[in-house]
Structure 1
Amino acid sequence: MKFKIGSILAGLALGCSVAASAPAQIVLTYAEGGPNRGTRSVALQDFADTVNRLTDGEVSVNIHWGGALVSLTATPQAVRDGVADLGTVLGSYDPARLAGFSIGDLPTQYSDPWVVQRAMYELMTTDEDQISMFADQNLVYLGNFSSTGLNFECRGTHKIESVADFSGLRIRASGVYALVLNDLGANTMNMGFQDVYSALDTGLVDCTTGYFYTAAAYNTYEVANHFSIAQWGGIGSFGIAMNKEEFDDLSEAHQQALLAAGGEMIDRFARSQIEEMAVIRAGLESGEIGRQVTVYDFPQEDLLLLTEAANVHNQSWVEQMNALGYDGQAMFDTYRALLVKYDTERQELGYPWER
């Protein structure tokens, strides 16, 4: 943590020197592995601005973009060690130490970004075991992002319109999602999104899992003819963490401001994601994005079959938590209940920005 001392006003009166100083401003260093562009960068800057607003300018957040301070994969360790005060962390980049946080990556039928992020925020700020696991790593959770749900993009005449279509296809996928697709007869391989375009173009893979934003960012619509919109699960162990020692040194008012800023960010980020997804989908259907492709809504009954197929792998996470001395099933049940809670709220009341 860095401190900048405000200016000192000095005056002389009757031979006496009088000095007054403004309160010290607290400047927190933030490690961000992504670039300063796109919806998530806007959300992160919104978080920083909200912290400054809620503390009346007493706390500011200095974001180091594009891995300038440390890479995204190294951020959990850097925040834990105090190299950065805060940073963007993903459970998949430190699965052993952030095993509890990885609950957000388990496949479910819930993928709405507002629902997932709100469920994760409530879980991570109220569940004593989750709070304790972060504290054991010298971390404090402040807020959440999400990837949105997975879709399937296929080249040539290949298409995925039901669970039966996975059999025999070569599909780019990763993590537990790859395990589920393997169980359903697919042959999966993992690669970075930067390599997916070439893999589809050359036929190295028949299909890929992806998101609306990756289709736009990596132009995969140029080499994929069929998009199946499944919105399956997604990455939810994706958020903001702070060094616990630095957090504990703050006043209670400043601590609450940081947590509140993380919560406020979720609504605005989720709204941006939902609006962006709608624009990209419309562009794929019309061709305005650069090329028209077939867009198919993956059936809800098949999405439930995917969810059921994932249960055995979700159970592996439960067993991992049990082995660490926690009640893994209770934790998973709590998370599922929160997903249901916020999905029900969304359906009955709409999103907060629509009310």
Structure 2
Amino acid sequence: MRNFIKASALAIVLAPVAVATAQAQTVMRYVEGSPNRGAKAQALEEFGKDLAERTNGEISVEFHWGGALLKWGAIMDGVAVGTAEMGTLIGAYNPKELQALRIGDLPIGEAGDAWIGSRAMYDLMTTNPDMIDAMSKQNVAYFGAIHTTAAQFMCNDASIKSIEDMKGKKVRAAGIYSQALSDIGATSVSLTFGEVYQALDSGLLDCSQVYLYTIDPYKFWEVVEQVLVVDWGQVVGIASGINLDVYNDMTESQQTALKEAGVLLTDHQARYLIEEHEAAIDALENDKYGRPVQLVQASAADKDTLAQASEKYIQQWMDEFAAQGYDAEAAMTQYRGLLEKYTKERDEKGYPWTR
């Protein structure tokens, strides 16, 4: 009985400590539209562990994958109103609201390199006052960059070896790339990425934009004869974002931890994508898929053609961002400068994980 009384007294003394500990831990729900696999998922999970470590367990991240909590088009609004504290935001799904973020979808300089593009976007979105303000108006704060690698073309016709050969061909691309291809003379076909395999197999498509690391998991090697490497554009108008009210309620040390974990997320996701991209190049060059697929490097003339076709869409972004009351010229100048900075760093020192 005496031992029971002592134990009860101890429990009463310790109870406030336990409550304080429980209250100190915050669980952040992170919504992601894709399934829990691949480079992005791996980097996000590492981000969650890193954030917990940097905050000594004060913050933990609970992931909701594959649109289980919010579908792609609803993630921005869901994070803004607090349905989830964090999430992956895609500019293409909310083009007006996330106009600032869409600068990363433009084919500029070395933006297609996953590390260069990601680092340039991270710096731009976290230091440029107009970019920060544009995101804050949606009640979100940017803390990490997500990339896709550079886009190439895959074709079911081995005779298509240049951009000139695509004139009159049925080609699937996304966003401004579809519009620019139409300007060049291709016939643009609107399909989801999940429909591309069947469309190439049936002849509904002649070519499609592709990220090389998707060739194996989607088994595109079964239905294409060649891949044309053009390094034209990318999607880095994708961000890890947090509800602004939640961010403002964090302590200064927690905000610092989030920023540091966001840099890790940015670098790790880029690294894993680059490794997957290089593995795909190796598989194509050495016939490691179930059947040989030709790998064709685009000419300098082809790349010039694509760059020229892109110019009016780059200007269109600037006009639309300026129409929102921002200094588009300054943002573009800073972004180009950052791309040059990280290109130089990669060329002189290599990627951070290879040093």
Interval of TM-score (by shorter of Structure 1 and Structure 2) = over 0.9
* 1:11 shift after superposition: 6.4
Q: 1:38 to 1:18 in 2, by over 3 A?
A: closer
- Structure 2: which 5+ runs fail to align? 1-6
The structure carrying a bigger helix percent of its residues is 2
Q: Give runs of aligned pairs for residues 314-353 of structure 1, distance below 5 A.
A: 314-353=314-353
Do 2:228 and 2:297's aligned partners in 1 also have CA atoms closer than 8 Å?
yes
The answer for the alignment partner of 2:9 in structure 1 is 12
Do 1:284 and 1:291's aligned partners in 2 also have CA atoms closer than 8 Å?
no
Do 1:11 and 1:18's aligned partners in 2 also have CA atoms closer than 8 Å?
no
* 1:112 shift after superposition: 0.5
2: CA distance, partners of 1:321 / 1:347: 32
1: CA distance, partners of 2:277 / 2:241: 27
Matched residue SS, 2:208: strand
* 1:344 shift after superposition: 1.1
1: CA distance, partners of 2:38 / 2:349: 28
Do 1:155 and 1:223's aligned partners in 2 also have CA atoms closer than 8 Å?
yes
Q: Give runs of aligned pairs for residues 81-230 of structure 1, distance below 5 A.
A: 81-110=81-110, 111-161=112-162, 163-230=163-230
2: CA distance, partners of 1:17 / 1:334: 57
* 1:167 shift after superposition: 1.5
Do 1:109 and 1:303's aligned partners in 2 also have CA atoms closer than 8 Å?
no
CA deviations over 1:149-174 (Å, ceiling 9, x no partner) = 1111111334233x322311110112
The answer for the alignment partner of 1:3 in structure 2 is none
* 1:12 shift after superposition: 3.1
Matched residue SS, 1:70: coil
Matched residue SS, 1:143: strand
* 1:284 shift after superposition: 2.2
Do 1:129 and 1:326's aligned partners in 2 also have CA atoms closer than 8 Å?
yes
Report the AA paired with residue 313 of structure 2: H
**% identity of equivalent residues:** 38
TM-score with structure 1 setting the length: 0.93
How many residues are matched?
343
Q: Give runs of aligned pairs for residues 269-348 of structure 1, distance below 5 A.
A: 269-348=269-348
**Greater than 6 Å deviation, 4+ residue runs:** none
* 1:49 shift after superposition: 0.8
The answer for the alignment partner of 2:61 in structure 1 is 61
Do 1:158 and 1:207's aligned partners in 2 also have CA atoms closer than 8 Å?
no
2: CA distance, partners of 1:18 / 1:261: 33
Q: 1:278 to 1:17 in 2, by over 3 A?
A: closer
The answer for the alignment partner of 2:3 in structure 1 is none
Do 1:88 and 1:239's aligned partners in 2 also have CA atoms closer than 8 Å?
yes
TM-score with structure 2 setting the length: 0.93
Report the AA paired with residue 234 of structure 2: G
1: CA distance, partners of 2:69 / 2:271: 29
The structure carrying a bigger strand percent of its residues is 1
Greater RCO, 1 or 2 (C-alpha within 8 Å, sep 6+): 2
Q: Alpha carbon RMSD of aligned pairs, Å?
A: 1.6
Report the AA paired with residue 202 of structure 1: S
Matched residue SS, 1:67: coil
CA deviations over 1:185-231 (Å, ceiling 9, x no partner) = 11111211111111111111111111112222211111110101122
The answer for the alignment partner of 1:241 in structure 2 is 241
* 1:295 shift after superposition: 0.5
Report the AA paired with residue 72 of structure 1: W
Report the AA paired with residue 148 of structure 2: S
2: CA distance, partners of 1:301 / 1:243: 45
Q: 1:171 to 1:12 in 2, by over 3 A?
A: same
- Structure 1: which 5+ runs fail to align? 1-9
